[in-house]
């Protein structure tokens, strides 16, 4: 009700009324948090991250994910036993250091007050994903809570997959929200870009939800209809990745799927069927979807985006050479980069005013090598610990395999794309928190540690 009223509050309203509405919303969030499992709130918050940055297009003053994640966090903290079982571990301290470094970089470079900087700090870096990484072991502690998250991602995958299909088939009446159809809003208006209005992020989201749907086939063994629905969503998501018409999405999808299937003994038998299914789906789409073959061929032969990548990468390297340790300040590449572009002899000078198409290079330019090293170390420890360390409980093994696929897809794509990946980043770090890392687990007594490892080994 507070949110509905806020939509009709005229501009220039006194701070007292706005404060009253905010307090009413906070009280409502606390009330809901008291009676609803936080897994529902946080899962819904993660899912609605697909609309981050487009709340205004939905007629909302704020993205619903912000309210849901806030309410879910309150719910976790309110319902947790006392003393709180969560304790900051070394990796959490490292993530805090990364956040402080980035905020300080924005402050001293003068970009902290910019709206885009706030978004980039919360989502691209991101402070919200780090927070969910911390909360996830408590919010999704039970199998029931993890299935809530998994089911939410499968439903989201169905929505993203169908939307990508409708966009490709030009079935505009079925596309929602309608801002997706506005080519002047966002980018990649000629591709399947979903609610992100950006094809790369859409591809990453589709792949992650496809992984969740594939896991659903294994998790809900006793429910035949549910398994069939999960398989259908997985196929839709795979087709959606193809419909993004984005080469880095295709590359990330292929590498992540094939390497994960080859690396884990439990799923290795599916490697050849997956290759055959992917090839057949591609051929079927090329043969039956109107106009797709021409778009596919155009994208595979497009060189202009490669020239942009080369130009901005060389500019980024020149900037790193100029200020290697502290960088140019968070969210400052586009503004500071023009003097560092150099003309090449074998391709045109294009790309000035475009972000770096590589997240590692962008962070090195803006945070310096020190800040980037802290960020890269934190990511390596969090994702590596979740993928390679033995999980606390045998039922987390399937989540660990899914973690490997999503992390590989993410790491491949961020080497070729410039965008701010709110939903993929939040889901990646939450998933890593669910699986867990040795560096975030409290120390166990030696006898308990030996017993736990024996259980995992026998499973």
C-alpha to C-alpha distances, 353 to 112, 336, 338, 357, 397, nearest whole angstrom: 20, 9, 7, 12, 44
pLDDT > 90? residue 17: no
Q: 80-116: per-residue pLDDT in tens?
A: 777 777 778 899 999 999 999 999 999 999 999 887 8
For 54-58, 291-295, 370-374, 437-441, which range has the lowest pLDDT when averaged over its residues? 437-441
Q: What is the mean pLDDT of the chain?
A: 88
The reported pLDDT for the residue numbered 181 is: 95
Helix extents (H) in 247-391? 247-263, 271-288, 292-300, 304-322, 333-336, 359-388
Looking at residue 3, its pLDDT comes to: 63
**How close are the terminal C-alpha atoms of the chain, in Å?**
49
Cβ neighbourhood burial of 354 (10 Å; 0-12, 13-18, 19+):
middle
Q: What is the pLDDT of residue 211?
A: 98
How much is the average pLDDT of 154-170?
97
In this prediction, residue 381 carries a pLDDT of 95
Q: How confident is the model at residue 443 (pLDDT cuts 50, 70, 90)?
A: very low
What does the pLDDT average to over 139-152?
A: 95
Q: Where are the alpha helices (DSSP H) in 36-126?
A: 38-47, 64-79, 90-109, 115-119
Q: Whole-angstrom Cα distance, residue 194 to residue 119?
A: 20
- What's the rounded mean pLDDT across residues 355-367? 93
Please give the model's pTM, rounded to 2 decimal places.
0.90
Task: Return the higher-pLDDT residue of 140 and 449.
Answer: 140
Cis peptide before 126 (omega within 30 of 0): yes
Residue-level pLDDT at 8: 61
Give the pLDDT of residue 2.
Answer: 66
Residue 44 to residue 414: CA distance in whole angstroms: 25
What was the pLDDT predicted at 48? 95
Q: How confident is the model at residue 119 (pLDDT cuts 50, 70, 90)?
A: confident
Please tell me the least confidently modeled range out of 20-34, 71-85, 122-136, 238-252: 20-34
Report whether pLDDT(249) > 80.
yes
pLDDT at 453 over 50: no
**Position 459 pLDDT exceeds 70:** no
Indicate the domain borders of the chain: 1-8+15-86
Query: Which range among 115-124, 149-158, 283-292 has the greatest average pLDDT?
Result: 149-158
CA 151 to chain CA centroid, nearest Å? 17
Give residue 222's pLDDT band: very low, low, confident or very high (50, 70, 90).
confident
Percent residues over pLDDT 90 in the chain: 63
């Amino acid at each position: 009700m507070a949110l509905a009223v806020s939509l009709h509050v005229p501009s220039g309203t006194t701070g007292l009324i706005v404060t009253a509405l905010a307090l009413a919303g906070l009280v409502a969030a606390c009330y809901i948090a008291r009676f609803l499992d936080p897994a529902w709130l946080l899962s819904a918050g993660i899912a609605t991250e697909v609309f981050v940055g487009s709340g205004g297009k939905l007629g909302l003053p704020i993205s619903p994910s912000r309210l849901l994640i806030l309410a879910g966090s309150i719910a976790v903290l309110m319902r947790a036993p006392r003393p709180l079982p969560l304790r900051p571990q070394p990796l959490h301290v490292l993530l805090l250091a990364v956040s402080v470094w980035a905020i300080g970089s924005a402050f001293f470079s003068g970009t902290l007050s910019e709206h885009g900087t706030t978004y980039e700090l919360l989502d691209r870096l991101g402070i919200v994903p780090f927070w969910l990484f911390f909360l996830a072991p408590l919010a999704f502690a039970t199998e029931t809570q993890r299935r809530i998250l998994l089911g939410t991602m499968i439903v989201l995958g169905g929505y993203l997959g169908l939307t990508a299909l409708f966009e490709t088939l030009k079935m505009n009446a079925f596309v929602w929200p309608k801002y997706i159809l506005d080519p002047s809003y966002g980018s990649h208006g000629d591709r399947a870009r979903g609610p992100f209005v950006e094809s790369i992020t859409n591809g990453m989201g589709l792949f992650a939800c496809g992984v969740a749907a594939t896991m659903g086939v294994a998790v809900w063994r006793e429910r035949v209809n549910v398994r069939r629905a999960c398989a259908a969503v997985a196929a839709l998501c795979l087709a959606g990745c193809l419909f993004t018409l984005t080469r880095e999405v295709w590359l990330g999808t292929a590498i992540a799927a094939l390497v994960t299937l080859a690396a884990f003994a439990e799923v290795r038998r599916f490697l050849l069927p997956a290759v055959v299914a992917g090839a057949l789906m591609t051929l079927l789409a090329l043969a039956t979807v109107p106009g797709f073959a021409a778009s596919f061929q155009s994208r595979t032969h497009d060189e202009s985006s490669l020239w942009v990548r080369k130009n901005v990468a060389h500019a980024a390297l020149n900037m790193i050479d100029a200020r290697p340790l502290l960088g140019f300040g968070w969210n400052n590449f586009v503004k500071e980069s023009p003097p560092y572009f150099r003309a090449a002899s074998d391709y045109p000078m294009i790309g000035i005013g475009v972000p770096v198409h590589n997240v590692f290079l962008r962070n090195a330019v803006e945070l310096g090598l020190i800040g980037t090293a802290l960020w890269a170390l934190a990511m390596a420890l969090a994702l590596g610990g979740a993928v390679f360390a033995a999980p606390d409980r045998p039922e987390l093994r399937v989540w660990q395999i899914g973690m490997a696929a999503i992390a590989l897809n993410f790491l491949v794509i961020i080497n070729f794309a410039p965008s701010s990946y709110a939903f993929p980043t939040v889901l990646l770090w939450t998933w890593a928190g669910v699986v867990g890392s040795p560096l975030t687990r409290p120390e166990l007594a030696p006898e308990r540690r030996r017993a736990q490892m024996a259980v995992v080994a026998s499973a």
